[in-house]
Amino acid sequence: MASNFATVPELLSSAANRFGDTPAIVTAESSESFRQLADSVRGAAAALGARGLRPGDRVLIAAPNSPALVHVWLGTIWAGGIPAAVNPESTPAEIDYLVDDLQPRITLHQEELELLGATTTAAAGATAATVDPMDVAAIVYTSGTTSRPKGVMVRHAAYTETGRSFPSWIGLAPTPTLPRKRGRERQVERLWACLPLFHINAQAYSLMSSLAHGFALALSPKFHATTFWQEARALNVTAVNLVGAMLDFIAQQPETRWVESPLRTIYAAPGPDPEQRAALEARFGVRIVTGYGLSENPFGCIESPTSRSKRGSIGRPRQPVSGAFTNELRIVRPDGADAPDGEVGELCFRNPVITPGYWKASEITREALRDGWLRTGDAGTVDRDGDVFLTGRYKEMIRRRGENIAPAEVEDALRAHPAVRAVAVFGISLGLREEEVLAAVVLKDGEDIDEAALRAFVAGRLAAHKIPSRILFRDSLPMTTTQRVAKDLLRQEYGRAASRD
C-alpha cells in the first residue's frame, strides 16, 4: 500500500521539475518560483544539519506565516527531521511545556528563521533523507483549553494524498495550467493561506495542494477580517481555506469593506447554514464549500450534491483522487455497536493514512485508536442518503431528563433569532447524571432582547427539555487559536458561578 504513496520531499521535487519557474510562494513583498522554493528548502535542510539536526530529531518553530517558515518547515522534513510549528503568540510558559514535551534538537523563532534563511543559498545541493510514506513527517499540536495540547503525528502519506485530493474536493481547476502560449504556462489557481501554518488546515489543504498541483500559495502573516477583501485583491488569490468563525467575522464587516477580487472559492469548516451560505454567496460573488477534517485525519468529510441544502450536514467521507484506499466512517454507540440512521453516535474513521497516534501519549493513543478506527470525539448522525450531520463534541452532549441533547440543535434555534450574532450552548452538571442547559449569547450591535423573550422564541422550535434554563448575554465568546468556541472555559466560568449561587 505504502508504495502507492509519495513522501513530502518527493512531492516537492516533482513540483520543482514540473512547474519550474512558475510562482510557488508569494507575499505582498516577494515571489518565489517552485525551482527557487526547492533550492531554499534544500538550503534550509543543510543549515539545520550544520546545527546538529539528524533524522528523527524534532524542530520547534514559533513564527507567523512567511516564506522563511515554509523553507524551514519543509527543510526539516527534507533532512529527515520532524517539524512542529506552533503559535508564535504562545506564552513563555506554553513554550516551556512544548519544549519539555517535544524535546526538540532545535527551537526557532521568527528572528532566527530570517538568520537561518540568509545561510541557505550556499548549500542548495543537500539531498533528501530516506523516509517512507508511512513515516511521521510532522507533529501538529492541537489546542487545549482545560487540558494540555497534544502532539498529533502526521504521516507523509497523509500530507501528500490530501494535497493531491483537496483541489478536486472543493472544485478547483483539475489541472494547474492553461494551454501553453508562446512556450510558457499560465496558472489558473492561487491559494491563500491566511490560516496559520501551525495548523493542519494550511499545511495539508493549502501548502500540499500547491506542491501537488502547481498552484501559487499566497501567504499572509495573520488573518484580518477588516482588510480581507483588500488583501484578496492585492494578492490576486482565487481560493481560500477558512474556519467557520472567520467567515462570520468577514460577514459582519460593513459593505464598504468589500472590493472586487479574483477570489471565487471559499472552503469553510464548519460552514454556515444553507440560508446564510446562499446569502453570502450572492453578496460576495463566491462559491462556499463546506466540510470537516481533523489533524488526526485530514480526509474527514466534504459536502455532497444532496447535503448542500441540509442544515448541519458536513457531507460524506472524502476519498483520495488516487483511489488507493477508502476513507471509511462509522457512527458508533457508547457500547461500540453501529448506530442506525438518524441516531446520534461518535464519528469514527478508518484509513491507512490516519495518524499513528499522539506524541509521547501512548494511553491517549490507545483510547483514540481502537482496531484501526479513529475515535474523533465528535458526535453526529447519518441519514438515508449517506450525508453526515455533526451535532457537537461527543463529550459535550448534554444529558437532561434522561435524554441526550445536541448543543448544535439548540444553537441553531437561538441563532435563528435576528438579534443573535453568536451563541454557544453547553451543560453544567447538577449531579446524578443530570445537567442544566446553558446558552451564552452575543447580540448584534444595536440589538436588545431579554432572556425571557429569547426563551419564548426558541420554545416554538425546541422540545421543552431542550430549552436553555439560563441564557447568559456576553460581549464575546472565548475562542481557541483555531477560532472555535472554547466551551470548556464557559463551563468553568459558569460552573463556578453556579456553585456560588
Can you give the pLDDT at residue 484? 77
Residue 119 falls inside a structural domain: no
Domain that holds residue 475: 399-500
In angstroms, the CA 180 to CA 171 distance is 22
Say if residues 482 and 243 touch (Cβ distance below 8 Å): yes
Total number of domains in the chain: 1
Residue 482 falls inside a structural domain: yes
Residue 487 falls inside a structural domain: yes
Can you give the pLDDT at residue 114? 76
Residue 316 falls inside a structural domain: no
In angstroms, the CA 14 to CA 37 distance is 12
Say if residues 494 and 428 touch (Cβ distance below 8 Å): yes
- Provide block-wise average pLDDT over 10 residues at a time, the chain (501 residues): 82 96 94 95 93 97 96 97 94 90 96 72 72 98 69 98 96 57 57 94 97 96 94 96 86 88 92 87 94 95 86 92 96 92 94 97 93 92 92 77 76 92 89 79 94 93 89 91 80 66 46
SS (H, E, C) 272-323: CCHHHHHHHHHHHCCEEEEEECCCCCCCCEECCCCHHHCCCEEEEECCCCCC
Residue 106 falls inside a structural domain: no
User: What is the number of other CB atoms lying within 10 angstroms of the CB of residue 9?
Assistant: 25
Say if residues 296 and 140 touch (Cβ distance below 8 Å): no
Residue 419 falls inside a structural domain: yes
Can you give the pLDDT at residue 123? 52
Using a 10 angstrom Cβ sphere, with 0-12 exposed, 13-18 middle and 19 or more buried, the burial of residue 476 is: exposed
Which CATH number characterizes residue 413's domain? 3.30.300.30
The answer to whether the Cα torsion of 95, 368, 242, 72 is positive or negative is positive
The answer to whether the Cα torsion of 34, 38, 43, 49 is positive or negative is positive
Can you give the pLDDT at residue 176? 45
Residue 343 falls inside a structural domain: no
Q: Where are the beta strands (DSSP E) in 126-279?
A: 136-142, 150-155, 190-193, 216-219, 239-243, 265-269
Can you give the pLDDT at residue 482? 66
Can you give the pLDDT at residue 79? 97
The single residue listed with the C-alpha cell 504556462 is 185
DSSP code for 256? G
Residue 272 falls inside a structural domain: no
